[in-house]
Amino acid sequence: MKIRKIFEKVYLLIFFIASFEYFFGDDQDPERKNILLIFALVSLFMFFFRRYFRKKFENRQIK
């Protein structure tokens, strides 16, 4: 179970790094910025998706 929480935090870390690079990066390539934004949004979605199913699985085991 602990590995699932670690991967959730990894997805969140990827989101923060990609978002920081998107907003504060000095890269002038707009295509790279779009890829970073998509990558950040997918990482955030995966964080909430994995968290939802981990909690659902934990609640099912408790009962």
pLDDT band at 1 (very low <50, low <70, confident <90, very high): low
What is the Cα–Cα distance from 26 to 50, expressed in whole angstroms?
32
> Can you give the residue ranges of every domain in the chain?
2-62
What is the Cα–Cα distance from 39 to 54, expressed in whole angstroms?
22
Over residues 22-56, the pLDDT tens digits come to 999 887 888 999 999 999 999 999 999 999 999 99
Model confidence, pTM? 0.84
